[in-house]
């Protein structure tokens, strides 16, 4: 087991795309760390550079207390699971799991014993003689995981390992993977473009944009206090309401309404300055009557979220969303009011969170 540290890591591809721009990141030993961000932000490049499958253009990769920047992938003592699992179709489950041990010249009996031990742990013991083509997607994924576990690497790197699974299996695999990582205590870096997955599984996460890390934190920190408007708009199953506003003494003028200054920005704003006011739909209370500090408008859209509804209000010329409990959802076209929770609303200045 080992910590992973990246210092000023830069990757420029031939042709000039700067996929990683001087990244600094420290992942402590045993942590389950998620890399999250939109397509093309550099997640896979980062993972492959940690693995040594891409050469860094600048900066350093340190695993444990060893600088491995110039070390070949095989010498880095890490194991990676790819999106497509990369199982060998002509080998059975035992040989697939034992393959890295064969490369390491472990004897056949020991290899098979280890493959069975790890396979059993992942519920594959009845399938050890099958080939990948005879397994379901979820089973193939477990074989890929078993192969990684059998290597007893210092760190695991997963590149969207759940992306080939259907929605239900994906949820199961998510819980399973988290439990497994806890038990093994191996430092794991996990790439996903699915923010629900990152929020659910990670101890901490980094949100990336165009080769930069825009925020590092626990899922709760990133969800409740996005450091900038990029993260605020990216994280959350329903995006945060981000509304232009102006400071007017101890209140904010937002979409023609007056709302109180959020707790987190108290005493930090300048009268008359332009800001962006942020509140998650989950932290807006919906009512049919105006309330103090509410944003009032007409109900334009009502979307069913299952046990709740997402109500979109037209407030002047902007849209404001609120999550409304089942049974309380309004009719289209009626007047509606959203009252932001003062202890959960946020203020952004020049795109960055204003907070002490």
Ligand X SMILES: Nc1ncnc2c1ncn2[C@@H]1O[C@H](COP(=O)(O)OP(=O)(O)OP(=O)(O)O)[C@@H](O)[C@H]1O
Binding residues for ligand X (CB under 6 A): 13, 15, 17, 19, 37, 39-45, 193
Helix residue ranges per DSSP H, the chain = 43-51, 93-103, 108-121, 137-150, 167-184, 195-201, 219-224, 229-234
Q: Kindly tell me which of 39 and 72 has the beta carbon lying closer to ligand X.
A: 39
Taking each helix axis from N to C terminus, what angle separates 93-103 and 108-121, rounded to the nearest 10 degrees? 130
**Smallest gap, in angstroms, from Cβ of residue 199 to ligand X?**
17
**Smallest gap, in angstroms, from Cβ of residue 50 to ligand X?**
12
Q: Kindly tell me which of 41 and 254 has the beta carbon lying closer to ligand X.
A: 41
**Smallest gap, in angstroms, from Cβ of residue 76 to ligand X?**
19
**Smallest gap, in angstroms, from Cβ of residue 298 to ligand X?**
38
**Smallest gap, in angstroms, from Cβ of residue 300 to ligand X?**
32
Q: Kindly tell me which of 41 and 247 has the beta carbon lying closer to ligand X.
A: 41
Cα–Cα distance between 38 and 207 in angstroms, integer? 9
**26: enclosing H helix or E strand:** strand 18-27
Cα–Cα distance between 203 and 201 in angstroms, integer? 7
Q: Kindly tell me which of 178 and 193 has the beta carbon lying closer to ligand X.
A: 193
Q: Kindly tell me which of 85 and 283 has the beta carbon lying closer to ligand X.
A: 85
Contact 85, 141 (CB under 8 A): yes
**Smallest gap, in angstroms, from Cβ of residue 20 to ligand X?**
8
CB under 8 Å to 306, separation ≥6 — which residues?
A: none
**Smallest gap, in angstroms, from Cβ of residue 80 to ligand X?**
14
Contact 312, 332 (CB under 8 A): no
Q: Kindly tell me which of 13 and 88 has the beta carbon lying closer to ligand X.
A: 13
Helix residue ranges per DSSP H, 203-328 = 219-224, 229-234
Return the residue matching tokens 């009996």: 109
Q: Kindly tell me which of 4 and 93 has the beta carbon lying closer to ligand X.
A: 4
Cα–Cα distance between 93 and 124 in angstroms, integer? 8
Backbone dihedral angles phi then psi of residue 119, each to the nearest 5 degrees = -60, -40
């Amino acid at each position: 087991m080992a910590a992973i540290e990246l210092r000023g890591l830069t990757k420029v591809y031939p042709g000039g795309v700067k996929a990683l721009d001087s990244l600094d990141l420290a992942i402590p030993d045993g942590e389950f760390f998620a890399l999250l961000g939109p397509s093309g932000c550099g997640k896979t490049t980062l993972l492959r550079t940690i693995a040594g499958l891409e050469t860094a253009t600048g900066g350093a990769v340190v695993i444990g207390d060893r600088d491995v920047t110039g070390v070949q992938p095989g010498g880095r003592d890490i194991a990676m699971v790819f999106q497509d699992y990369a199982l060998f179709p002509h080998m059975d489950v035992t040989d697939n799991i034992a393959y890295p041990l064969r490369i390491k010249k472990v004897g056949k009996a020991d290899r098979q014993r280890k493959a069975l031990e790890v396979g059993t742990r992942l519920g594959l013991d009845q399938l050890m003689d099958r080939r990948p083509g005879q397994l379901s997607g979820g089973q193939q994924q477990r074989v890929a995981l078993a192969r990684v576990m059998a290597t007893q690497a210092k760190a695991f790197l997963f590149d969207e390992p759940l992306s080939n699974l259907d929605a239900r299996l994906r949820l199961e695999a998510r819980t399973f993977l988290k439990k497994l990582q806890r038990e093994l205590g191996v430092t794991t870096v996990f790439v996903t473009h699915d923010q629900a997955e990152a929020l659910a599984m990670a101890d901490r996460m980094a949100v990336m944009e165009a080769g930069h890390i825009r925020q590092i934190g626990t899922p709760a920190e990133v969800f409740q206090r996005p450091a900038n408007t990029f993260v605020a708009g990216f994280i959350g199953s329903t995006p945060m309401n981000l509304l232009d506003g102006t400071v007017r003494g101890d209140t904010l003028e937002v979409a023609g309404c007056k709302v109180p200054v959020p707790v987190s920005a108290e005493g930090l704003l300048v009268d008359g300055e332009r800001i962006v006011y942020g509140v998650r739909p989950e932290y807006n209370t919906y009512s049919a009557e105006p309330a103090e500090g509410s944003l009032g408008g007409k109900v334009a859209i009502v979307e069913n979220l299952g046990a709740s509804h997402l109500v979109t209000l037209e407030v002047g010329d902007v849209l404001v969303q609120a999550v409304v409990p089942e049974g309380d959802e309004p009719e289209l076209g009626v007047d509606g009011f959203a009252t932001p929770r003062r202890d959960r609303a946020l203020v952004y200045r020049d795109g960055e969170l204003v907070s002490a």
